[in-house]
Amino acid sequence: MQTRSIQHALAIAFVAAAGSLTSVAQADVVTEWNQQLLSSIQAENVAPPRAARMMAMVHLAQFDAVNAVSNQYHTYQGFLPCPTGTSKEAAAAQAARDVLANFFPGRTAVFDAQLSTHLGAVGNAQSRADGVELGQRAATGIMSRRASDNSGNNFTYNGGTNIGQWRPTGPAFAPAALPHWGTVTPFSVTSSSQYMASPPPAVGSAAYQTAYNEVRELGRNSSATRTQHQTDTAFLWRAGGNTVTPPGQWNQVAQQLVAANNLSLEDSARTFALLGMAVADAGITAWQTKNTYDYWRPETAIQLTGADGTMAGADPTWAPLFTTPNHQSYTSGHSTFSSAAATVLASLFGDTQTFTVSGDNITRQYTSLWAAAEDAGMSRIYGGIHWQFDNSAGLAGGAGVGAWVAANGLPVPTPGAVALMGLGGLIATRRRR
């Protein structure tokens, strides 16, 4: 496929640009807090775009805290001076705890228990105290930076009744979810429209009719055309309510890759921070596209019209395999999240990796990140809730976001910048003494 070729080219191009990964020590403190984040998202039923924002914030705070000690990469929120000997583990744990407690105050006791375990493993009291203070600053900084990012500016949108226009679907007929999300400030890309898709096919066009006929057959709840493998793919990648969400599934992939490559704490923190920025900006990009074109879902179109856009071929009894989500169809959030994540992870590890994905009591092994992203995208057609052009445009947009983050997010500093950061750390140490 053309998309696959593009993805492989992007992965090869950015392996060198992203910097070399260091395989030194296990990064348990980072991956354990990532798992705590995913558990909290699942328990609190957080919507995917909001979950992705949380992933970026938690792991950028962790990264900046850890990186402040080693000065290995460019920071996100600016250099945070700290004394020599500051515990990276304590800093990472405290930063994650503070951001998570802000998001999930009802789970603070759970976070405090995990924090106590991690801090207890740091033997030197001064190193531990310096790490705690550094982690607190990193968390406060990222929360302050994102306090006015428009993520809280929600409003109600109920769609319309024009041909091709999105409208609520059953059984809940709920308003559009997060119609403001395209206005949220991105973490890395220059704007929410930087990788926004071009307009979708016109209703009744040849491209539309091809996609219409495909999802009408493959996505029907009682489809005789959809294979068992395709049905399993739909459920594997469904990641609906009270799950880790679609971007969370890619965090689970990252956990496996970090462990398999035995990354250092710095590189583990950077991996999850880059992934967090990529899926967060993918969500912002997808929702900007959704709310720009306001395109209807297959369920609405098939029940009201035929492939040519007239009422002649409508099937009022048609129902999808999955309940249609309450937001616009074009583009697919799943596809955008997945290709952004696969692109970033391929830039760090290479596309050819062995890992598993689990969902709805199904587990599948993959040997290619991009193959997994393609499956995730197709799962939405098999589920009857997206058009093929939603998928292809989402994959392309997400790949663009991921490539941008891989090239521009948290790069290796120049030698002159390294010297300046080292001088900053020396000054901080002398001031403390």
Q: What is the mean pLDDT of the chain?
A: 92
Residue 415 is predicted with a pLDDT of: 56
Please state whether the peptide bond connecting residue 171 to the residue before it is cis, i.e. omega within 30 degrees of 0.
yes
Helices H / strands E in the chain, number of each: 15, 2
Q: What is the mean pLDDT of residues 269-298?
A: 98
Beta bridge partners of 365: 356
Count of CB atoms within 10 A of residue 70's CB?
15
Judged against a pLDDT cut of 90, whether residue 253 lies above it is answered with yes
Q: What angle in degrees, to the nearest 10, is found between the helix axes of 333-349 and 246-260?
A: 10
Cα(164)–Cα(329) distance, integer angstroms: 10
Residue 22 is predicted with a pLDDT of: 52
* Percent share of the chain, pLDDT over 70: 89
Between 69 and 13, the higher pLDDT residue = 69
Q: What is the mean pLDDT of residues 325-352?
A: 98
- Predicted TM-score of the model (pTM): 0.92
Answer yes or no: are the C-beta atoms of 348 and 18 closer than 8 Å: yes
- Structural domains in the chain, CATH included, are 2-153+191-432 (1.10.606.20)
Q: Which helix (H) or strand (E) holds 359?
A: strand 355-359
**Confidence band, pLDDT 50/70/90 cuts, at residue 291:** very high
Q: How crowded is the C-beta side of 167, counted as CA atoms within 13 Å?
A: 12
Q: Which long-range contacts (CB under 8 A, 24 or more apart) does 187-191 make?
A: 187/56, 187/60, 187/276, 187/277, 187/280, 187/281, 188/277, 188/278, 188/281, 188/404, 188/405, 188/408, 188/409, 189/281, 189/284, 189/285, 189/401, 189/404, 189/405
The tokens describing 327, both together, are 């937001």
Judged against a pLDDT cut of 60, whether residue 80 lies above it is answered with yes
Fill in the DSSP letter of residue 105.
G
